[in-house]
Amino acid sequence: MFIGFDYGTANCSVAVMEQGQPRHLQLEGNNTMIPSTLCAPTREAVSEYLFKFMGVKPTDQLGEQVLRRAIAANRDEDIELAKGDMLFGQAALDLYLSDPEEVYYVKSPKSFLGANGLHEVQISFFEDLVTAMMSNIKTQAEGALQQSIEHTMIGRPINFQGSGGERANEQAESILRRSAVRAGFKSVEFQFEPVAAGLEFESTLTEDKTVLVVDIGGGTTDCSMIQMGPSWFKRIDRQSSLLGHSGLRVGGNDLDIHLAFRQLMPELGFGTQTQKGIDMPISQFWNPIAINNVVAQGDFYANANLAVLDQLRRDAAQPEKLARLIKVYHEKLGYQLVRKAEECKIALSERTAQQVTLHELADALSVDISQSEMAAAIESPRVQISQLITEAVEQSGVRPDMVYMTGGTAKSPVLRETVEALLPGIPVVSGSYFGSVTAGLARWAEVAFK
């Protein structure tokens, strides 16, 4: 049995082929998508829980070392794990939101996999994180099918990381492959996510077209210029149909982070000054919400940074705002701030203004954000996305017959207007914003594993 597996930055989903059509499987209750989140009592609990309750052993000496250290750290803290202590998806998010200080919470580990400068121990730990998530998803999918799954076609972005080039891509894909094997898959193959989305869109065409696929997901934006249509259906060798690719780690998460930075962080002191008229350091307001940057998160939540924050509060012309930033530090509220920005972004795709409440930081504290303010806040990632579109067109050397937009973030009116302005007169269409990659992966798995 094979599946198409979209291990996404924001959500994960899987699909199987039945009677020539993809069917998405339920992974969390009645939902076919499960948020890419994990929650455990401690960071070290992840590796121990994976071994103790999910039956997944380390595959090398480094993994065994990580496991031994994890078990020792948990015993030092008198933490005895019980089944059910590690949660996934919405259940993990709900637990984190109810008590952020008392849990270890991870969102979108895919964002870290291609990071530069990771030590071997960090890579081994990320592999444990991904393995745990994949193992949970495989178990849920097998429960839905009532049969075992041996083969998987996993989607991957064109580039996992903004820098690092092919070395970063190899590192990230290697982590995903090893994790999938540890989770129990016997055969693991990969396909570019925009190509997979294109394969699903191709099934709707009655004549050949040259299509620019623009896949704007939670963590990456990927563009592929593809020749597709009836002449290409189910052909094993599609190399000559792939005319150009571009991709970068910029997506929905980046829009959320920039929106939080420009519109929410001023309530925590961003843009204010000290009593002597010196500007507050920008990094202290960026790092807590840079949830896709391991180094930034480590710098902000480091023990030594608390003394720096306390000094900033004493020096501040508006100390009450810096006190809110310190509360973010103590209660680990960075993820919550980004989530509020994400909810605001979604609301602003359908309305002209939205109020964001920040009651966790102060009673009756809220911020009103308009569509135009959001557009200004996300200008930097919007420009990056427009450059990727231009790059794919120039690399292919052709203008597309149409543009197919997919990925959850592609619903943004600001981004759709960007595409229309870059390619005037070319039809822009969309299908399943959230399911096209998964469906296309299932279609390609049927070709690859037959």
Q: Are residues 13 and 442 in contact, defined by beta-carbon separation less than 8 angstroms?
A: no
Q: What is the mean pLDDT of residues 90-113?
A: 89
Paired tokens of 33: 């998508």
Angle at alpha carbon of residue 360, lines to 81 and 412, rounded to 5° = 95
Min mean pLDDT across 276-280, 294-298, 395-399 is at: 294-298
Is the confidence at residue 381, as pLDDT, over 70?
yes
Is the confidence at residue 163, as pLDDT, over 70?
no
Nearest to 90 by CA among 110, 105, 111: 105
d(CA 194, CA 216): 9
Min mean pLDDT across 77-91, 156-170, 286-300, 341-355 is at: 156-170
Q: Are residues 285 and 327 in contact, defined by beta-carbon separation less than 8 angstroms?
A: no
Pairing relationship of beta strands 242-248 and 221-228 according to DSSP bridges: antiparallel
Is the confidence at residue 162, as pLDDT, over 60?
no
Percent of the chain exceeding pLDDT 70 equals 99
Min mean pLDDT across 164-168, 358-362, 382-386, 445-449 is at: 164-168
Q: What is the pLDDT of residues 46-73, one digit of tens each?
A: 999 999 999 999 999 999 999 999 999 9
Count of C-beta atoms within a 10 Å radius of residue 448: 15
Q: What is the mean pLDDT of residues 430-434?
A: 83
Q: Identify the residue with better confidence: 191 or 111.
A: 191
Q: What is the mean pLDDT of residues 287-315?
A: 93
Q: Are residues 249 and 157 in contact, defined by beta-carbon separation less than 8 angstroms?
A: yes
d(CA 266, CA 182): 44
pLDDT at 107: 87
Q: What is the pLDDT of residues 199-230, one digit of tens each?
A: 999 999 999 999 999 999 888 899 999 999 99
Residue 431: C-alpha distances to residues 26, 173, 198, 213, 428 (Å): 20, 27, 10, 11, 11
Q: What is the mean pLDDT of residues 339-348?
A: 94
Q: Are residues 403 and 424 in contact, defined by beta-carbon separation less than 8 angstroms?
A: no
Nearest to 193 by CA among 411, 448, 441: 441
d(CA 288, CA 409): 22
Q: What is the mean pLDDT of residues 270-282?
A: 97
pLDDT at 433: 82
Which residues are 248's β-sheet partners?
221
Q: DSSP letter at 316? A: B
Query: Which residue type occupies 426?
Result: I
Count of C-beta atoms within a 10 Å radius of residue 277: 7
Pairing relationship of beta strands 151-156 and 187-192 according to DSSP bridges: parallel
Residue written as tokens 């998405």? Answer: 24
**What is the phi-psi region of residue 371: left when phi exceeds 0, alpha when psi lies from -120 to 50, beta otherwise?**
alpha
* Confidence label for 91 from pLDDT (cuts 50, 70 and 90): very high
d(CA 416, CA 410): 7
Is the confidence at residue 317, as pLDDT, over 80?
yes
Q: What is the mean pLDDT of residues 288-312?
A: 93
Q: DSSP letter at 363? A: T
* Confidence label for 276 from pLDDT (cuts 50, 70 and 90): very high
Average pLDDT, the chain: 94
- pTM value? 0.86
Cβ-based burial of 275 (10 A; exposed 0-12, middle 13-18, buried ≥19)? exposed
Q: What domains does the chain contain, in order, with CATH numbers?
A: 2-185 (3.30.420.40), 207-252+380-431 (3.30.420.40), 253-378 (no CATH)
d(CA 73, CA 55): 20
Cβ-based burial of 427 (10 A; exposed 0-12, middle 13-18, buried ≥19)? exposed
Residue 374: C-alpha distances to residues 334, 349, 368, 382, 420 (Å): 19, 10, 11, 11, 19
pLDDT at 249: 86
Q: Are residues 309 and 329 in contact, defined by beta-carbon separation less than 8 angstroms?
A: yes
d(CA 340, CA 360): 11
Q: Are residues 7 and 155 in contact, defined by beta-carbon separation less than 8 angstroms?
A: yes
